[in-house]
Amino acid sequence: MNIAVVGSGGWGTALALLLHENKHELSLVSYSKEESEHLAAALENPLLPGVALPADICYTADPAAVSGCTMVVVVPPSFAIRSTAEQIAPYLRPDAILVSATKGIEPETGKRMSEIVAEVTGKKVVVLSGPSHAEEVSRRVPTGVVAASQDRLLAEVVQEVFMNDRFRVYTSSDPVGVELGAAMKNVIALCAGVCDGLGYGDNTKALLMTRGLTEVARLGMKLGSRTDTFAGLTGIGDLIVTCTSMHSRNRRAGILIGEGKSPEEAMKEVGAVVEGYYAAKAVKLLADRMGVDMPITQAAYQVLYGGAPVGSALSSLMTRKKGSEIEDAGWSRAM
């Protein structure tokens, strides 16, 4: 296929390398001319040091580069997803297959990334997500992800295009659950980093991850997703890798916040987009709108946007009203 990857951050570059390896004709579209010229000259992305880029990829900042492509992979930072979709929309072929590989939720609307791309372009969009650090994918570390769409044929086309002997792709009919798990895990990973920065142990992280997944599933069910999606690669799988790895920008930012830095200082020191910062606000607003109780998300929002001390936020979570782990515990109330 002739494919354009729109967004040349670490993840976009890693996906371009994968597709190039699969013998597709590639354009990697940057947000600025300076960035595309640097990639073409250096043949290396500073976000993926030591990984050589092929010279026969077309490095460009021109959104018209998508015009001849049968597949377009949209992978900018979440805050730029709408503007990026607007830039490429006029140039898309009528039969182009769109793939959204960005993780997040738009704060103003509560919409998922694929919803925004579909709204702007008028096309069906396949979601590609899963536990997949760009640093590892770019170095050919075996990885598994999910291609999700309510259109089975489109999901299977994306599966075929991306899959090889070190990048396994499963299909799913639940893009809502896949995208929600992808966005929410960044919030939980940031909180996991805070716990690490505070010097807490494995017990705390296990508690946080497990109850965080409960929050994700609670909101997902309200939005119409399937509960079993959250037991898969884009639920517990993505949560595990993002909460435990130092590749995770969200966890690294959380560690710095736990050690006493402000959210702004932490993001500046990490030096790349910390999606959990934006997702905390977006998910909190969405949960409020849907009437869903999400105490971990609420605590993260108060720390990141309300100036709450991390210690008091954790204390408020530990001293909440008592309850059962399973919301419908199944006990008879008869005495």
- Residues designated as active site: 185
Give CA angle at 307 (305, 313), nearest 5°.
100
Please give the sequence-ordered ranges of beta strands (E in DSSP) within the chain, or none if there are none.
Answer: 2-6, 25-29, 58-60, 71-74, 97-100, 125-129, 143-148, 167-172
Reference 263, options 291, 210, 221, 300; nearest CA is 300
DSSP state of 125: E
145 has which bridge partners? 169
Strands 71-74, 2-6: pairing is parallel
Q: Distance between CA 73 and CA 267 in Å, rounded?
A: 26
Q: Distance between CA 22 and CA 16 in Å, rounded?
A: 10
Reference 263, options 280, 286, 247; nearest CA is 280
Buried b (16+ CB within 10 A) or exposed e, 96-105: bbbbbbbbbb
